[in-house]
């Protein structure tokens, strides 16, 4: 229980729910399940009052060979089962600094924030997979505590664990946490040019460089130039990484 409690900060203790709190949840599972059916990403819901998983989608990435019901029953035991100690300690740290950040936000804005970070899970074949994990509040208590949160899991675009960021819906600011110095810093979201977005979209459609050049009336060398500048801007090495970055960061 002591290790489990590291995932549940006293800052966000949900001990009692009011009638108004409970009214929030009418039929919301229908929406979550519909979203899960059309998304390629793994989705699960955390209930912070019960300290458990309330819903787990059937995407295989997050399940690690288990069935959704088995992961749901494991709850946070899933992390202890499938995350190695170094990354487990990282998750404890993220939990600590994330709730500290959240506690300072205005109550009426708390649902607008999402925390993102990368860590390894060990799949059913014993292979470590680096995943990106995003968490955002779904329901808050009247006191502003997170009661339920939605988590979205996809393959990470980075190469190492960490990469802790917080973003606010409709804001160009990103907060990044420095694990070494244990401080938050701010920076602006990457802004892609119309041409860079156009080339990315066409790559997402499966077009080759030659086909893209022909379609937008540019030389192949010019398309390559725009791609190279794009790679430098978002710090990736190839178009596959660029597409993953753009999708995960809602640039497309």
What's the pLDDT tens digit per position in 95-133?
A: 999 999 999 999 999 999 999 999 999 999 999 999 999
Q: Are 48 and 67 part of one and the same domain?
A: yes
CATH of the domain at 234: 1.10.10.10
pLDDT band at 19 (very low <50, low <70, confident <90, very high): confident
Q: Are 6 and 75 part of one and the same domain?
A: yes
Q: Are 169 and 66 part of one and the same domain?
A: yes
Q: Are 202 and 112 part of one and the same domain?
A: no
**Tell me: the pLDDT tens digits for 22-33?**
888 878 988 999
Which of 56, 240, 87, 86 has the alpha carbon at shortest distance from 152? 56
Q: What does the pLDDT read at residue 241? A: 86
**Tell me: the pLDDT tens digits for 60-91?**
999 999 999 999 999 999 999 999 999 999 99
Q: How far apart are CA 122 and CA 79, in angstroms?
A: 10
Q: How far apart are CA 78 and CA 209, in angstroms?
A: 43
Residue 218 structural domain: 194-248
Q: Are 205 and 168 part of one and the same domain?
A: no
Q: How far apart are CA 169 and CA 55, in angstroms?
A: 24
Q: Are 202 and 105 part of one and the same domain?
A: no
The percentage of residues in the chain with a pLDDT greater than 90, rounded to a whole number, is 73
Q: Are 136 and 59 part of one and the same domain?
A: yes
Q: Are 70 and 125 part of one and the same domain?
A: yes
- Does the pLDDT at position 248 exceed 80? no
Check: pTM over 0.95? Answer yes or no: no
Half-sphere exposure of 197 (CA within 13 A, CB side): 9
Q: Is 217 exposed, middle or buried (0-12, 13-18, 19+ CB in 10 A)?
A: exposed
**Tell me: the pLDDT tens digits for 132-143?**
999 999 999 999
Strands 173-178 and 162-168: antiparallel
Q: Give how many domains the chain has, as a whole number.
A: 2
pLDDT band at 2 (very low <50, low <70, confident <90, very high): low
**Tell me: the pLDDT tens digits for 158-201?**
889 999 999 999 898 999 999 999 999 999 988 889 999 999 99
């Amino acid at each position: 229980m002591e290790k489990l409690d590291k995932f549940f900060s006293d800052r966000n203790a949900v001990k009692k729910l009011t009638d108004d709190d409970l009214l929030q949840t009418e039929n919301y599972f229908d929406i979550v399940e519909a979203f899960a059916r059309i998304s390629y990403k793994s989705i699960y819901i955390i209930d912070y009052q019960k300290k458990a998983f309330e819903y787990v989608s059937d995407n295989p990435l997050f399940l690690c060979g288990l069935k959704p019901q088995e992961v749901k029953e494991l709850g946070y035991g899933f992390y202890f089962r499938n995350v190695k100690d170094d990354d487990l300690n990282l998750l404890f740290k993220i939990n600590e600094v994330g709730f500290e950040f959240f506690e300072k936000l205005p109550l009426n804005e708390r649902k607008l924030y999402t925390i993102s970070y990368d860590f390894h899970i060990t799949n059913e074949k014993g292979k470590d997979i680096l995943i990106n994990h995003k968490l955002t509040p779904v329901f808050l208590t009247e006191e502003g505590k997170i009661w339920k949160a939605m988590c979205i899991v996809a393959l990470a675009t980075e190469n190492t664990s960490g990469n802790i960021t917080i973003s606010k819906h409709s804001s160009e600011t990103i907060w990044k946490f420095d694990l070494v110095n244990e401080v938050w810093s701010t920076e602006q979201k990457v802004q892609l040019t119309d041409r860079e977005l156009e080339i990315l979209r066409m790559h997402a459609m499966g077009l080759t460089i030659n086909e893209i050049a022909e379609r937008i009336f540019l030389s192949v060398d010019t398309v390559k130039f725009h791609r190279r500048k794009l790679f430098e801007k978002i710090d990736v090495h190839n178009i596959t990484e660029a597409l993953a970055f753009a999708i995960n960061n809602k640039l497309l």
